[in-house]
Amino acid sequence: MRRNYISPEFTYNGQYGTMNMIEETSFFGSKMLYIQNYISVDNQNIVYYQNSNNEQVNFSIEKNSSPIVYSSFSDKQKNHTIIIDLTQSSAQKNYNTKWLVTIDLKTILSNFLFATLKQSRTFNGITNNMTIYNNINASINEYISKNILNRYEFSSIDFYVQYQSFVQNGSLRYNNSFIELNDSTYLIKQLQSTLNQSGGSITINFNQSQDSASYNFNYYFNLYFKRI
């Protein structure tokens, strides 16, 4: 009997390819996810369906359950901060107050991409047990982080400001509100901004043009990214 020299203590077990979410290139080519050249995160809602385990395996059944709605407004509201610039003088703070708005670009873009992949059912048929974390959502987020985010860069921002008299409407000084604004009348034409070194966040610096002793403001922003 001829020996095959394969040691009996070693066996080969098949593994799902989705155990590794990092795209690996090879000489023979690899799968490629189609992505848009430009992404606008403005005021859209993205609706998708899944089962109770966050899996997408049967749309005919899942469409009868409650839809999952991604709100770009809520995402932007959650992932930014606005504060008074502490380096300004008391005189400036009392009249033309300087504000700093810091926006978490990476998180917003990642959340937007996640909802887009879910809506497109890109990972349709993949169940939790087919992923390394036994969690399809965690694996999708890893896929985005490892393969998609580095293919985009921040392009521009539209920043809107609408002043209102808090003396007349009964609101409080320095009490500004994030609301949906897309009227070009309120668009700030000249905007000073600083992108952090990694490109993951941006800080907007602007001076209140209406006297802050009488006016607070509503504000809003849209974000734009481009493929590199």
User: What would the pLDDT profile of 144-181 be if each residue is shown by its tens digit?
Assistant: 999 999 999 999 999 999 999 998 888 899 999 999 99
What's residue 29's pLDDT? 53
Residue 22 is predicted with a pLDDT of: 74
Q: How many domains does the chain have?
A: 1
Q: Is residue 2 part of a domain?
A: no
Helix (H, G, I), strand (E, B) or coil at 178: strand
Residue 14 in contact with residue 140, Cβ under 8 Å?
no
pLDDT in tens, 107-147: 999 999 999 999 999 999 999 999 988 999 999 999 999 99
Position 97 scores a pLDDT of 96
Closest to 162 measured CA to CA, from 204, 208, 193? 208
Please indicate, yes or no, if residue 11 is contained in any of the structural domains.
no
Q: Does residue 6 lie within any of the structural domains?
A: no
Residue 5's pLDDT is what?
Answer: 57
Tell me: pLDDT of 31 over 80.
Answer: no
H helix runs in 65-104, sequence order: 72-78, 90-94
Answer whether residue 8 is part of any domain.
no
Q: Are 180 and 77 in contact (CB under 8 A)?
A: no
Closest CA to 160 of 218, 208, 203: 218
Bridge-based pairing state of the strands 177-178 and 215-227: parallel
User: Could you tell me the residue range of the domain that residue 124 belongs to?
Assistant: 41-227
Do the domain assignments include residue 9? no
Q: Which of 107, 150, 105, 143 is nearest to 122 (CA)?
A: 143
Instruction: Give a yes or no: residue 45 inside a domain.
Output: yes
Residues 162, 165, 170, 175, CA torsion sign: positive
- Res. 84: pLDDT tops 90: yes
- Residue 159 counted as domain residue: yes
